[in-house]
Amino acid sequence: MASKSGFLTKEGGSIKTWKKRWCVLKNGALHYSKSAGSGDLGIITLDTAGEVRASQARKKKKHCLEIETPARVYYMCAESKEAMDDWVKEICAERDRLKKKASASSGGSSDAAGGASRSDSASGSSSSGQESNGGNPDRVGIEDFELLCVIGKGSFGKVMQVRKKDTGKIYAMKVLNKKTIIERNELEHTRSEKNILQKLCHPFLVNLNYSFQTADKLYFIMDYVNGGELFFHLQKDKKFTEERARYYCAEIVLGLEYLHLSGVLYRDLKPENLLITDDGHICMTDFGISKEGLLSDDDRTNTFCGTPEYLAPEVLEGNGYGKAVDWWSFGTLMYEMLTGLPPFYSQDVQQMYQKIMTAKLQIPKTVSDEARDLLEKLLIRDPEARMTNPADIKAHPFFAGLDWELLAQKEITPPYIPPVSGKEDTTQLDPTFTSEEPVLSLVQGSDISNTMQSNFAGFTYVAPSGLGE
C-alpha cells in the first residue's frame, strides 16, 4: 500500500556519500533501495520519527529534507523545491497518522483514519452496497468528483477523466458494472485487479488512489495519464522507429520483470493497455485479467483469457501456462511496434489462432538483425525454449549500450514527448471517447441481492495519506 514513490538522493550513514535511491512511502515507513523492484537497502520507520522538514544543516545541498529518528537524522535531496515540499508533507502525514492510531489504540478507541479508511467493515458497507464514510473524512464517493469527459470504454464499463472537488487534482475514474461482473463470472478478476493495484508500486505501473462502490457500480480512482495510449500513437504513425520501439520495450521489460517478481501474471499486454505519460514514459495499466500468486517459475494457471492477437500458443492449447505467456505477448507487441501489425494477424480470429499455432514467423527485411534475433527468441512456440529470463533479455544485443539503472530512474530522455498543454489535456486521446457526454447511469434501487452484494465487501480503499495529493 504505497502512498508515494520516487527517487531521492540520500546521504550515507557512516560514509557520507550521496547516492540516488528509489524511495517508497508505505505501511508506516520510508523504504529505500537501489532501484525500483530491487530489495530494500534500508527502512526508516516513522512511528517514532520527530521533525520532518527542509534541512538547515545541509544548506549547501539543494532541496534537502531531514527526518529525525531516535537512531539518527536522515538527509535526502529531491529534484526540486516542490518535490521536496511534497515529500515532507506526505511523510509528516504518515507519521501523524501512525501517532494518531497509537493514541487511539492506547485510549481504547478505534482508528477511523487508519484501518477503517482502507477496508469495508460490517458497519461501513450497507446491504445495498452503498458505502458510508463512517465519519471518516478520508473516505470518498462519487459526489467528491466532477466528471469531465470519457477517455475510454470497455465491456464492463467506462473510464472518465475526473476532478476531485476539494483539491482540484485530475484523476482517471474506472467504473465497472456489478451486474455485468456477476453475470460474466468475473468476481475473481475484479478482486485481483484491486489487490494488484493496491499493493504494487513501480515507475512504469499506474497507481491506485481510491476505490469505492455504490449499489450498482465499482469505482477505481487512478492516476490520469494523458500522453495517450500506445495504440493511439501506433495507429497515427503506422509503425515506430527502432530507437523508439527499443525505448518502450525496455521500460516494458522492467515493468514485466517487477510484476513477475511480485507473483503477478499480466496476461493482457497490448498497445491499448500501455499509456504514455506527459513526459514520454510507459505506464502499464488495466490488470483486470491479471493473475496473482504465481511466485515460482513453475507455477501454472489455465484460464483462457486475453486478447486474440497477443495470445501465446500454450494458452490456445489449454494445458496450463505460466509467466512465459507474457514474454510471447511482449514479442508480439515488439513486432507490431516495428512493422505496424502483430506477426500472425488475421481478421478471422480462428484463422489467426491457427497461424499462432503453426505459421512460420515472417520478419520484414527492414527489421535490424539484432531486433530480428530477439523476436525469433521471444516468439518460440515452446515456452521452455522461449527467451523468458529478464536478465537474458536485458543483455540481448538489441538493447546494447542501454543503462538499465538510469532507465529505471527515468533519467534517459524519451524519444517522443507528447504535445500536451497541462494535466487536463485530452488531445492525445481518442476523440471517439472524449466527445461523449460524461454521465453515469443512475439506479433507483439495485436489483443485486444482499447475498451478491457481499461479494464486493472489502472493496473500499484509500491510499495512505491520500496518494498523490
Residue 239's CATH number: 1.10.510.10
Q: Which of 192, 152, 199, 201 is nearest to 175 (CA)?
A: 152
Q: Which of 56, 81, 106 is the last residue of a domain?
A: 106
- When pLDDT is averaged across residues 92-118 and rounded to a whole number, the result is 59
Q: Judge if 179 and 202 occupy the same domain.
A: yes
Is position 278 annotated as part of the catalytic site? no
Establish if 289 belongs to a structural domain. yes
Q: How many domains does the chain have?
A: 3
Give pLDDT, residue 56: 85
Establish if 150 belongs to a structural domain. yes
Establish if 343 belongs to a structural domain. yes
Establish if 56 belongs to a structural domain. yes
Give pLDDT, residue 125: 37
Establish if 429 belongs to a structural domain. yes
Whether 115 has a pLDDT exceeding 80, the answer reads: no
Q: Judge if 392 and 294 occupy the same domain.
A: yes
Nine cell digits for residue 76: 535526502
- When pLDDT is averaged across residues 61-72 and rounded to a whole number, the result is 87
Q: Judge if 216 and 234 occupy the same domain.
A: no
Q: Judge if 244 and 321 occupy the same domain.
A: yes
Establish if 27 belongs to a structural domain. yes
Give pLDDT, residue 441: 72
Q: Judge if 195 and 246 occupy the same domain.
A: no
> Checking DSSP bridges between strand 145-153 and strand 157-164, what pairing results, if any?
antiparallel
Mean pLDDT taken over the chain: 86
Residue 318: give the domain boundaries: 230-408
Q: Judge if 385 and 271 occupy the same domain.
A: yes
Distance CA 231, CA 229 (A): 5
pLDDT digit string, tens, across residues 262-271 = 999 999 999 9
The better pLDDT of the pair 116, 44 is held by 44
Give long-range contacts, CB 8 A cutoff, 24+ apart: 429-432. Answer: 429/151, 429/152, 429/226, 429/228, 429/229, 429/232, 430/152, 430/229, 430/232
- DSSP alpha helices (H): ranges in 69-201? 81-106, 178-183, 187-199
Whether 116 has a pLDDT exceeding 50, the answer reads: no
Q: Judge if 7 and 41 occupy the same domain.
A: yes
Establish if 220 belongs to a structural domain. yes
Q: Judge if 329 and 400 occupy the same domain.
A: yes
CATH of the domain at 442: 3.30.200.20
Whether 446 has a pLDDT exceeding 80, the answer reads: no
- When pLDDT is averaged across residues 102-120 and rounded to a whole number, the result is 42
Give pLDDT, residue 310: 96
Whether 279 has a pLDDT exceeding 60, the answer reads: yes
Q: In angstroms, what CA-CA distances link 277 with 195, 281, 284, 294, 425?
A: 23, 5, 10, 29, 12
Q: Which residue among 120, 216, 268, 326 is the active-site one?
A: 268
- When pLDDT is averaged across residues 242-270 and rounded to a whole number, the result is 96
> What's the whole-model pTM score?
0.72
Q: How many CA atoms lie within 13 A of 65 on its CB side?
A: 22
CATH of the domain at 12: 2.30.29.30
pLDDT digit string, tens, across residues 347-384 = 999 999 999 999 999 999 999 999 999 999 999 999 99
Whether 306 has a pLDDT exceeding 80, the answer reads: yes
Q: Judge if 380 and 239 occupy the same domain.
A: yes
Establish if 415 belongs to a structural domain. no
Q: Among 24-33, 124-133, 245-254, 435-444, name the one with the lowest average pLDDT.
A: 124-133
Give pLDDT, residue 77: 95
Q: Judge if 313 and 217 occupy the same domain.
A: no
Give pLDDT, residue 45: 87
Q: Judge if 310 and 353 occupy the same domain.
A: yes
Give pLDDT, residue 303: 86
pLDDT digit string, tens, across residues 149-187 = 999 887 677 899 999 999 999 999 999 999 888 888 888
Q: Judge if 400 and 252 occupy the same domain.
A: yes
Does residue 274 contact residue 230 with C-beta atoms inside 8 Å?
yes
Q: Among 220-224, 230-234, 434-438, name the one with the lowest average pLDDT.
A: 434-438
Give pLDDT, residue 141: 92
Q: Among 249-253, 419-423, 445-449, name the one with the lowest average pLDDT.
A: 445-449
Whether 282 has a pLDDT exceeding 50, the answer reads: yes
What share of the chain has pLDDT > 70, as a percent? Answer: 88
Give pLDDT, residue 107: 53
Give pLDDT, residue 284: 96
